[in-house]
Structure 1
């Protein structure tokens, strides 16, 4: 019997989002891909449909535009049965706060925080109509510690963590399962790879391939796990860091992150 349900994935044109799309298609799941205009998303969709024989729909728009988000979601829910939402889209960066543009700060807050909440809020009634449905929100290991030279980014991911866990509790007696994923470093492109390499061996601790992160996150989300930290080293690192005083923890992490600044694009 064919599966007529869809998985909605944001930030799906590259990196972790694209890998989620590949693995969901491999599982036989129909997909709705969302990314910015000009992301060449249709070519990704065409390849997935050809290789895995699933239905793949494409929506290209700016998630931080609340009106466009509302209109796009209305079209999606009228046309497709969505039973799995993967809130993957996000943006970050490394720079002293005094050298970070107001536009960049606004981008992080609008995309990482506001669009995630609005998308989830608007899709909730649709998800709850299914006997079993799922939300996966992508946070970061950065959510566990305030970090200098990133400041706004870890704060946005801490928000996603709190939002997800609160929502999970609220949905306890429904068929909707909510999970939050805390990936460590990901070499999604040459730019982020240079930043990670700049930190030496400490920057590579917990480093997993993008396919491995996606595989772990999908498996545990579909198993109903609320908190997902991919990789044993990241789990150990998180447990050890919890033992340190906050001031020391922030100093250690921020010192390593500062090494990324020369490799960061202008923000």
Structure 2
């Protein structure tokens, strides 16, 4: 096995995952990037190796394929020493439930919930062999309330939150620290940008760049914070939503989210 230590990042070819890769590499840490085939992960890895002098390994496969997942993780753990896992891969979308395909619903559950839990389970024994190791799971502000026209997505993010906090408690007293991050809106692509803009001032509240979110998430995970809400306005929003009755909160959030439908590709 390679004696160097690595950070493993899923969903690493674009968006927040790409920013995690850049900032981890900039800090001098080696990285293992997991991404779908056909993306820009290999180009990103080559660029980061050249710029920062770190080692970057790329594995391209579909995390929702449990056979592929197990095969690649067994190989990775045999050849590389990992002390930091960043479960970033995820998918969402906005549409009425009757207009959402079964395949899309299954994809959200398989990627956001199943693959995250399986990957974490596979890595925990290895992570526990280190004196200090870390797991960062990416949830969402959407985890804090049910939302119409998203339905499955916030439920999947609530699972990530519950899973992470329960796991942190279970591993208390070991050298493995678990943190969960709740990002607000991020303009990661043209579709997301149009959806955020469609909500006007409300949609832009709490808006941070991927670079800002990654920086906050990394620094607080490495200092063992259990829950991480990047951005002052997101903290304020979380507090305010926490004191509203569920029925009112659900109505307010869902009304704003409904505006996104026209900007969301068919799912």
> Which interval holds the TM-score relative to the shorter structure?
over 0.9
Structure 2, unmatched stretches of 5+, are none
Write the distance in 2 (CA, Å) between the matches of 1:141 and 1:243.
15
State the match for 1:174 in structure 2.
174
Matched residue pairs, number?
Answer: 266
2:222 pairs with 1:226: no
2:254 pairs with 1:261: no
Per-residue deviation at 1:4?
1.2
Aligned Cα root-mean-square deviation (Å):
0.9
State the match for 2:103 in structure 1.
103
State the match for 1:48 in structure 2.
48
State the match for 2:238 in structure 1.
238
2:86 pairs with 1:86: yes
State the match for 2:197 in structure 1.
197
State the match for 2:35 in structure 1.
35
Please tell me whether the aligned partners of residues 146 and 154 of structure 2 are also in contact (alpha carbons under 8 angstroms).
Answer: yes
Write the distance in 1 (CA, Å) between the matches of 2:76 and 2:240.
43
Write the distance in 1 (CA, Å) between the matches of 2:241 and 2:153.
19
State the match for 1:64 in structure 2.
64
Note the alpha carbon deviations across 1:228-267, whole angstroms, 9 max, x for none: 0000000011001111000000000000000000000010
2:243 counterpart SS class: coil
State the match for 2:141 in structure 1.
141
Note the alpha carbon deviations across 1:198-244, whole angstroms, 9 max, x for none: 01100000000110000000000000000000000000110011110
Per-residue deviation at 1:40?
2.4
Return the TM-score normalized by structure 1: 0.99
2:259 counterpart SS class: helix
Write the distance in 2 (CA, Å) between the matches of 1:225 and 1:247.
31
2:125 pairs with 1:125: yes
Moved over 6 A (4+): none
Return the TM-score normalized by structure 2: 0.99
